Every structure is written in C-alpha cells, then in structure tokens.
Amino acid sequence: MQAIILCGGEGTRLRSVIGEKQKTMTEIGNEPFLVNVIKHLKKYRITNVIFATGYKSHEVKDYFGTSYYFGVEVNYSEEKIALGTGGAIRNCLDKIKYDYALVLNGDTLFKADLKELEENFLTSKADMTIACKEVDDKSRYGSIKIDYSGERTNGNKDIGVIVSFDEKVDKKDNKNAEGESIDEKEAKHNGVSKENSAINNKELYDLVINGGIYIIKKELIETIPSGVKSSLEKDLIPGWLNEGKLITAEVSAARFIDIGTPDSLKEFKERREEFREL
C-alpha cells in the first residue's frame, strides 16, 4: 500500500511555540514529529510515501531526502497555492501507483491497526474507509454516525457504514465541560470505558471521531477538482455521502494525538514514550 502524508499546513496555532517552522517538522526529542508517522507506517510494511507539501516544503525535503529514507521510498507533491486537504490529495494523483491509497495527516499520530483498516476496505468493497477513534468527549472533533445493520455490507454487521459525517464544530475555547483541554483529555484517556465502547456495543454509533487516516479509491480521488482548494472533511466526505458513496468505518481504541495546539504538543512531548511502537 502507498501512503500520502498531508504536511502542507502552516500551523498558525503553534506559532507562539514553534515560530515559522513547518508544523509536522516540529522537533520532539532529536527528531521531527513526522518521523513518528513514518515509523508507524513501517510497522505495517508501508514503504512508499508521497509527502503532500506546501508551506515550507523544503524543510520536509531537506530532512527526508528525495529518494529513500531508512528504507522508505519518498516522493513529493508540492502545492504552489494552498489547496486544503482535498486539493492536496488530488495534487498527488499522478504519483499514485495503485487502485487505492492510504491518506493520513502528518500532524497526527493515531496508532490504529493499518492492516485491519485495509481488510475493512477490501472486504466491504468500499469507496473509502476511515479510521475512527473512540472518545468520551467528541465536542472538539465533530460528529460521525455509524450503521452496523449490514444492509450495505452484504449482511456483515461487523463492518460499520458511515451515514453521517459533520466536522462543523465550534473550536473557539477547546475546552470540555470540566474545563480540561480536549487534547489533554484525549492523550490521557486514549480510549473509553468498556461498557461505553462502540466496538463492544454495536448500537452505540456516536462516541467516535475522525482519526485522520483514510483509504481512498484512486477513482474517487480522480473526482476531486484539480487545482481547487477543498476540504476533505468539510466538503468532500459529506458530498460523497450525499452521492451514496460507500464509506466504511474501522473503529479503534488505539492511542491518538494531534499536535495542532500548544497544549497537545506539550502533552505529546511529555508522554511520547507511551506512543512508541510496542
């Protein structure tokens, strides 16, 4: 499987901490955060990567080189103008070698089982499969609803079909009801109690969030307008659902963190040993 890593964002919320540096290249210990994402891919023998770059793309290229990085073949798709997550994926089209591609955010580390994600995608014959993360509080991340009836998966009730996807949420204070940072809460919990688990209770559809890892058919990527800014999360996925595209969910309680805010970056630095490969 080939992977597209989205690493073109400016990281404006982190400017007070990292200055003008490319967000995914923020140093954690003696290496950039992005190296953690590469290590997770290598665990599943994914050794062909396209870096979808934009802002300060040279920082990524200078570090990872232009051919191989510790056994991983690297390629680049560089935006000349900001294209958003959707446009960035479309910009990689001519470099996608296979019928589908793994897509993930370079500023997020979600230790989901990528083999299980691929098996879900292939078994369900989906147009797209999303790795979803279990949480106790999804207020920062929006709403995903999953149907386990088996109606669109040939009676297979172990595969969930996404019926609603909404990332239009208010993020202005980034706090939960207890006044705790959602990022901190997420890094600490990394899962929910068993009695509330979507994995163990198929009637519970909404205690999951978008984990930022996707498998997408190449032919679906081809439908994204070229050279036009678009959001995968806010524009394309809701639109594809309205068109009746089959989008399945692979739910995981694996560790998850994004480094999009100063609080979550600090939390990862303090707890990074917990995210190391087992």
Nearest to 208 by CA among 116, 110, 138, 264: 138
How many domains is the chain partitioned into structurally? 1
Higher-pLDDT residue of 278 and 216 is 216
**Looking at the whole model, is its pTM more than 0.85?**
no
Please, are residues 255 and 112 in contact by the beta-carbon 8 Å criterion? no
Query: How far apart, in Å, are the Cα atoms of 206 and each of 16, 143, 202?
Result: 34, 7, 10
- CATH number of residue 83's parent domain: 3.90.550.10
pLDDT at 95 over 70: yes
Residue 59 belongs to domain spanning: 3-275
Over residues 132-166, the pLDDT tens digits come to 988 776 666 677 899 998 899 988 988 999 999 98
Residue 178's pLDDT band, with cuts at 50, 70 and 90, is very low
CA 113, CA 199: separation in Å to the nearest integer? 14
Is residue 88 very low, low, confident or very high in pLDDT (cuts 50, 70, 90)?
Answer: very high
Give me the torsion for CA of 238, 242, 243, 244, rounded to 10°.
100
Residues in the chain, overall count = 278
pLDDT value for 255: 86
Q: Tell me what the mean pLDDT of segment 11-30 comes to.
A: 72
Other C-beta atoms lying within 10 Å of the C-beta of residue 110: 23
48 — pLDDT class (breaks 50, 70, 90): very high
Q: Which residue type occupies 149?
A: S
**DSSP label at 269?**
H
